[in-house]
């Protein structure tokens, strides 16, 4: 449902039939949530199971995620609540520490790993609780509901339905507890869904004293007669270059527009030269007399000055910091400083800086990340792609199911390159082994480096197709020289399975294949020929007479 949130009007919900996959012991529930109203009753985002009468007894529930608001007695209740139910039907709850906010998107994540319950809001751990239980699995199927929690008792509690009123987007359920790094990445990689008809986009960060552009995308409804937008940048920031609008008392105003035409509205802002810290943009958009808060990004942070490998933030990358960062990259371990998944060009940039003495500065004139981190000792680190450096892949034309073959990447750095590395991507389901030059597999990637010189190398590894491999498969890769990625590794990129009748795997079906097939048929296979069972024409699992006939007809151009 990304960017197309489901609207729940306080009287609707989605019912999903039970499946054994919903009987979870470890779990994660994640969703973007936009609350429209304040209510003293719980608003269920997701509920697995039913409760029958009293909430604390006769439950057939397993886990829930809901919101609370200020109750009728004006006592404050928590913003979010995560519940799990054990085999004794005991109810364990975890409450968030922050209070209710309506009219604004928030990203909620609830996790349970068998030992701890945790709640995250907008990618940050908000509260946690230690509780070790076995979660309840109902004996009778209990459906899952999105947007409501249902009480099936018609007695003193009535036929209660606790509805959600607002928008739900990108709802996800996992059968494990995501790590904090994964939750942070999930939050940052998924854009906030649109709450109104205007969405704000901000640059990834700001640099004090440097102009940046704010973009507002307006997509009014078809029945819109007129609309307008008001936007307030951070105090003290200078506004310029307003499209379709004007500035009045620190507020950027667009419109009114007497139509329903979508528009991209922009303006530039320049933060003061001494500005630091996180800054917030606010705004509203009015459509046919109804105002809503502008959705999208609201907070912008200062651009980080330090390389992520520089753990103690002293503008020096030490040997220990480099090797720790490099090990995390090679193993695919999440790094504590963003980006959690370390890019190849970041680790090579760190290696280049370390080789030159370790000291560096941040200079955005030199480029964006990671090129902005420039060595301040020795020869200056490269700030542009060197076209003379290259990496070329060599693959066989065809593969044999279940049999390993060699992949090689010939890397030729330009003269004077300080550090380089390579990441190669293998097809899903294939396995890699036998790397030279200290290479290592990480998921579907094979990683080599980093190499602290400009010496050419031919990097090799073995790759084995799975037993069910069929058809063509693609390999791809990236090389980085001094922290600058090449667009892609060139050379070969595709391997294919043998065509029918191509017994010897030379990518054609001819008389040689017919001879080999006949020799196999009479139990006298040649000893110096490799046979490719994938050339089996009649799918009987062997090479024989039919393959020989097929090859003869192909050689005679009868097929």
Predicted confidence (pLDDT) at residue 317 exceeds the cutoff of 90: yes
Question: What CA–CA distance (Å, rounded) separates 178 from 159?
Answer: 36
CATH number at residue 270: 2.60.40.10
| Phi, psi (rounded to 5 degrees) for 486 | -80, 155
Residues 223 and 110 in one domain: no
- Position 538 scores a pLDDT of 61
Q: Give the best-scoring range by mean pLDDT among 5-9, 249-253, 360-364, 392-396.
A: 392-396
Do residue 224 and residue 253 come from a single domain?
yes
| Tokens coding 360 | 């560096």
Query: Considering 300, 334, 349, which residue would you say is the last residue of a domain?
Result: 300
Contact between 207 and 302 (Cβ < 8 Å): yes
Percentage of the chain lying above the pLDDT 70 cut: 78
Which residue do the tokens 């509805």 mark?
A: 163
Contact 155, 53 (CB under 8 A): yes
Residues 213 and 179 in one domain: no
Q: Is residue 215 part of a domain?
A: yes
Of the two residues 283 and 338, the one the predictor is more confident about is: 283
Residue 90 lies in a domain: yes
> How many folded domains does the chain comprise?
5
DSSP state of 151: B
41 in the same domain as 162 = yes
> Do residues 229 and 294 make contact, with C-beta atoms less than 8 angstroms apart?
yes
From the CB of residue 63, how many other CB atoms can be counted at a distance below 10 Å? 23
- Helix (H) and strand (E) counts in the chain: 5, 40
Domain assignment of residue 341, given as a range: 319-375
pTM of the model: 0.45
Buried b (16+ CB within 10 A) or exposed e, 309-332: bbbeeebbbeeebbeebbebbbee
1 is a domain residue: no
pLDDT, tens digit (0-9, with 9 covering 90-100), for 164-221: 888 888 889 998 999 888 888 788 766 545 446 898 988 878 888 888 999 999 988 7
Q: What is the pLDDT of residue 165?
A: 81
Is 396 within 8 Å of 465 (Cβ atoms)?
no
Is residue 44 located within the same domain as residue 135? yes
| Percent of the chain surpassing pLDDT 90 | 27
The token duo for 156 is 């003193």
The reply to whether 221 and 163 lie within a common domain is: no
pLDDT at 194: 47
Same domain, 330 and 397: no
Tens of pLDDT, residues 513-524: 777 767 777 776
């Amino acid at each position: 449902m990304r960017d197309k949130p489901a609207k729940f009007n306080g009287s609707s919900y989605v019912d999903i039939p039970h499946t054994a996959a919903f009987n979870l012991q470890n779990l994660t529930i994640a969703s973007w949530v936009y609350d429209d109203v304040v209510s003293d009753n719980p608003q269920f985002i997701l509920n697995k199971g039913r409760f029958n009468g009293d909430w604390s007894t006769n439950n057939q529930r397993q886990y829930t995620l809901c919101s609370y608001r200020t109750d009728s007695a004006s006592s404050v209740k928590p913003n979010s609540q995560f519940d799990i139910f054990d085999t004794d039907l005991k109810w364990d709850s975890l409450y968030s520490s922050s209070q209710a906010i309506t009219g604004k998107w928030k990203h909620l994540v609830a996790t349970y790993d068998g030992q701890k319950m945790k709640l995250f809001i907008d990618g940050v751990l908000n509260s946690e609780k230690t509780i070790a239980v076995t979660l309840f699995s109902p004996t009778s199927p209990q459906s899952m509901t999105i947007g409501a929690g249902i009480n099936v008792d018609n007695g003193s509690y009535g036929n209660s339905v606790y509805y959600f009123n607002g928008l739900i987007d990108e709802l996800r359920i996992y059968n494990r507890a995501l790590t904090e790094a994964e939750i942070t990445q999930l939050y940052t990689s998924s854009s906030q869904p649109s709450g109104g008809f205007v969405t704000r986009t901000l640059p990834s960060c700001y640099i004090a004293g440097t102009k940046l552009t704010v973009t507002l995308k307006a997509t009014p409804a078809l029945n819109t007669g007129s609309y307008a937008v008001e936007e307030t940048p951070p105090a003290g920031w200078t506004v310029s270059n307003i499209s379709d609008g004007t500035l009045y008392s620190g507020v950027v105003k667009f419109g009114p527009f007497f139509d329903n035409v979508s528009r991209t509205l922009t303006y530039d802002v320049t933060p003061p030269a001494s500005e630091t810290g996180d800054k917030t943009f606010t705004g509203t958009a009015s459509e046919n007399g109804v105002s809503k808060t502008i959705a999208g990004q609201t907070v912008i942070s200062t651009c980080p000055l330090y390389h992520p490998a520089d753990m103690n933030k002293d503008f020096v990358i030490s040997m220990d910091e480099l090797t720790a960062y490099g090990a995390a990259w090679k193993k695919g371990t999440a790094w504590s400083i963003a980006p959690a998944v370390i890019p190849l060009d970041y680790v090579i940039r760190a290696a280049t800086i370390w080789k030159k003495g370790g000291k560096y500065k941040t200079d955005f004139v030199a480029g964006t990340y990671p090129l902005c981190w420039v060595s301040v000792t020795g020869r200056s680190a490269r700030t542009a792609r060197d076209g003379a450096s290259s990496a070329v892949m060599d693959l066989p034309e065809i593969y044999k199911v279940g049999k390993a073959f060699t992949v090689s990447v010939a890397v030729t750095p330009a003269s004077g390159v300080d550090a380089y590395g390579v990441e190669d991507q293998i097809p899903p389901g294939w396995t890699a082994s036998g790397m030279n030059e200290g290479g290592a597999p990480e998921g579907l990637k094979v990683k080599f480096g980093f190499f602290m010189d400009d010496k050419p190398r031919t990097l090799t590894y073995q790759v084995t197709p799975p037993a069910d491999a069929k058809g063509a498969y693609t390999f791809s890769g990236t090389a980085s020289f001094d922290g600058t990625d090449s667009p892609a590794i060139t050379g070969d990129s595709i391997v294919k399975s043998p065509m029918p009748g191509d017994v010897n795997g030379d990518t054609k079906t001819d008389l040689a294949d017919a001879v080999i097939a006949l020799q196999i048929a009479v139990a006298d296979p040649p000893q110096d020929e490799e046979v490719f069972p994938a050339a089996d024409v009649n799918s009987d699992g062997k090479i024989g007479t039919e393959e020989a006939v097929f090859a003869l007809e192909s050689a005679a151009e009868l097929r």
